[in-house]
Homo-oligomer: A and B are copies of this chain.
Amino acid sequence: MKINYPNPSINHTSQKKTINRSHGMLFESALNSSNEFYRNKNLAFIYKKPTPIQIVKVDYPIRSKARITEAYYKTPSTTDYNGIYKGKYIDYEAKETEHLTFSFKFISEHQIIHLLKINEHGGIAFIIIYFRRVNRVFIIDILKFYDLYIHQQENNKKSISIPLLEEKGKEVSLGYTPVIDYLQAVDDLYFTK
């Protein structure tokens, strides 16, 4: 057996998205290609989890190729991405917005709980947010996010502004290879102490 990097063509877990689900596709595919870059550089092994699908009906027109004829999108039980970086478990949720604040309605409570659990167990857990209109990306550690989540809602606010993310999170520099070099920001937040 030759030790090769996995074939990029089978790395992608992205699917042909449809209009309703096209939000965030550019961000997702930029993240996926950044993770592929990190894998090829042998820096980190982080993958996007496949979208969970509830399969109802399958046909077998040819024995070897089952054809799913009725299925539905399911709500993911965890987060979009996980893997290993510098010996640590890493887990994050990727979000994108066209607004200038990040609304809490875009993240589910069970995803927040999941990320808090990962933190409690010694993993790196954060949310990465892309603000499309200003083309800026931030990561924010789940504990800091959770503090804001509680604090803002106590003050009847249902979102986080970019200045708050500048203060509490870390901006990710955008470039070419990789497009979203978020491991630099991860280094700053988790590996400099």
Determine if B77 and A150 form an interchain contact, defined as CB atoms under 8 angstroms apart. Answer: no
Residue of B nearest to A12 (CB): B77
Contact residues of A between 37 and 85, Cβ < 8 Å to B:
39, 42, 44-45, 47, 49-56, 58, 60, 63, 65-78, 82-85
A105 interfacial by beta-carbon distance below 8 Å: no
Determine if B109 and A1 form an interchain contact, defined as CB atoms under 8 angstroms apart. Answer: yes
In the complex with contacts A47-B77, A52-B13, A89-B83, A66-B18 CB distance below 8 A? yes
Residue of B nearest to A63 (CB): B20
Residues on A lying within 8 angstroms of B by beta carbon are 1, 3-7, 10-13, 15-18, 20-21, 39, 42, 44-45, 47, 49-56, 58, 60, 63, 65-78, 82-91, 109-110, 112-114, 116-118, 120-123, 149-150
Determine if B84 and A54 form an interchain contact, defined as CB atoms under 8 angstroms apart. Answer: no
In the complex with contacts A16-B54, A50-B49, A122-B84, A10-B110 CB distance below 8 A? yes
Contacts of A89 in B (CB 8 A): 83-84, 87-90, 123
